[in-house]
Amino acid sequence: MKIIYRILLSCLGLLVAGAAWSGNPDRQGEAGANQLLINPWARSAGLHSLNTSSVTGTDALFMNVAGICRINKTQINLAHTRYLDGADLSLNALGLAQKVGKNGVFGLGLVAFDMGDLEYTTENTPEGTGAYFSPTFFNLAVSYSHLFANKVSVGFAVKMVSESISNASATAVGLDAGVQYVTGADDNFKFGISLRNVGGKMQFKGEGLSKTRPNPGPTFEYLITYQERPAAYELPSQLNIGTSYDWLLGKSSKLSLMGNFCSNAFSRDQYGLGLEFGLNKNFQLRVAYKNEFDTNTIESSLDNGIAAGVTVQAPLKRGSQTPQLAIDYSYRQTKVFNGIHNVGIRIDL
């Protein structure tokens, strides 16, 4: 019971901390590193990241780290995202979850943002110099999750966030924490809370922030190098509270309904509902709808609306449940360009 009390206190602490960062449209645009809000994993992206209460495995590295412990032994996930199809932006992700001991799981996630090659311009050559550079945006997360009596799981993650170009860069360290609770006669009711991207500020540094100008004094003619001091910016913190219920259909099929509330520190709060159907653990079909309060503004999120996805998985050995290979795909509607496409390959050992 002491463990349960500690977990409940942790939940309360997450709620209190989340209240400090609760949705505030007046602060919209003040945060950076917004790639941390893009879900690279196809399975949970098909539910618009609304499965805070039920997400498991490597998908939980993004949404709720408490869920990574709900795997068999080892899970490997490779994913690719075509972000705003037609804009030549993409994400590549690698996720690994490994069971340690009886109830613990370590997770590792690496996500890199590919923006392609951009033409180098200057004040004197605004049309381009003929040279190109490629920005490097990535984040690396190390996480741990523990399952208590198959009912409550807790997890936390430490992530390093990096943004850089050839002559300037910014880094920060962020923290994630989460709780999942499972109850019901058939473990069919789930509740989850996650707090994401809480950490230090990022500030660009490097030679790219220096400028050379003539000495303003009349005595000597020489150049002086001035160092610009850019403003620091915070990580896009958010609090998610979600619940779900499973209807068991026969021995191995189920229908799951889930809801989620997301409180953003630097934008409007969001809410959504998702539905997932699983057939014999080999096929899942999912659809979700997400929206935010006060959407009748140009500042509203670009991916409000419908998301859908599908998963096909099968064992690699006949007569055995492991290892298993799964292929995930999802699509998210966007207001501009041609939506967001996610595809992933998962291996369960």
Looking at domain 2-348, does it have CATH number 2.40.160? yes
Whether the CB-CB separation of 81 and 101 falls below 8 Å is answered with no
pLDDT value at residue 296: 61
For the chain, how far is it from start to end, CA to CA, in angstroms? 33
User: DSSP E strands: which ranges in 115-232?
Assistant: 118-119, 132-133, 136-148, 152-165, 168-183, 189-199, 210-214, 223-227
CA dihedral 297, 300, 302, 304 (to 10 degrees): -110
Model pLDDT, residue 71: 93
Name the token pair of 243.
């619940």
pLDDT attached to residue 30: 77
Alpha helix (H) residue ranges in the chain:
2-20, 42-45
Residue with tokens 């026969």: 250
- pLDDT for res 23: 52
pLDDT number for residue 24: 60
The C-alpha atoms of residue 330 and residue 221 are separated, in whole angstroms, by: 62
CA 260 to chain centre: 15
Domain positions in the chain are 2-348
- pLDDT for 225: 82
The rounded distance, in Å, linking the Cα atoms of 89 and 134 is 12
- Which pLDDT score is estimated for 9? 47
Tell me if 157 sits within 8 A of 142, measured CB to CB: yes
DSSP state of 50: -
Residues of the chain with pLDDT under 50: 1, 4-5, 8-9, 12, 15-16, 18-21
pTM confidence score: 0.88
pLDDT digits 0-9 by tens, 136-169 = 999 999 999 999 887 899 999 999 999 998 889 9
